[in-house]
């Protein structure tokens, strides 16, 4: 099922033209990713800390359809897809204040062993998270504004 992360665009997200700076949209997507992990019971401090594995992003892309401005309420719809035993993709659709798709993004993550930096299988908790977020039924969750 899709995870939905709600957020208000802040002044700090925008550039001199008053629209969200492109790189900040990927940062907002990462906020949604973190919220989805936490919502599934994954302990963020351990997941992003100095554990035995790391799950870096190895590719990111984004397409824009309309601008975001300070004060706009957005909803980030997140789904995830297992690619193989080591990699997964996270897809994001950002719905703007017009209730239309304003942007889409994707990040690709790979699981590695921290000690030798070699690929390793996705841990059980992450496999469960992928299964939970692989379909498209929305599950609204509010962000801390």
CATH of the domain at 38: 3.10.129.10
pLDDT of residue 22: 93
Compute φ and ψ for 49, nearest 5 degrees.
Answer: -85, -155
Q: Is 15 a catalytic residue?
A: yes
Domains contained in the chain, number: 1
Global pTM reads 0.89
DSSP 19: B
Nearest in space to 129 (alpha carbons), one of 28, 58, 38: 38
Which residue has tokens 């908790």? Answer: 125
Q: What is the pLDDT along the chain (145 residues), one digit of tens a residue?
A: 789 999 999 999 999 999 999 999 999 999 999 999 999 999 998 889 878 999 999 999 999 999 999 999 999 999 999 999 999 999 999 999 888 999 999 999 999 999 999 999 999 999 999 999 986 434 444 454 4
- Rg for the chain, CA atoms, rounded: 16
Considering 13, 15, 84, 145, which one is annotated as catalytic?
15
Domain region containing 46: 3-142
């Amino acid at each position: 099922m899709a995870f939905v992360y709600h957020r208000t665009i802040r002044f700090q997200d925008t550039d001199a033209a008053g629209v969200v700076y492109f790189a900040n949209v990927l940062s907002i997507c990462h906020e949604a990713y973190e919220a989805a992990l936490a919502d599934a019971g994954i302990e963020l401090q351990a997941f992003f800390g100095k554990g035995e594995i790391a799950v870096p992003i190895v590719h990111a892309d984004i397409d824009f359809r309309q601008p975001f401005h300070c004060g706009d309420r957005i909803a980030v719809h997140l789904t995830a897809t297992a690619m193989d035993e080591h990699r997964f993709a996270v897809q994001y659709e950002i719905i703007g204040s017009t209730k239309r798709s304003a942007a889409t993004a994707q990040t690709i993550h790979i699981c590695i062993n921290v000690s030798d930096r070699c690929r390793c299988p996705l841990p059980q908790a992450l496999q469960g998270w992928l299964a939970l977020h692989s379909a498209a039924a929305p599950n609204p969750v509010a962000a801390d504004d």
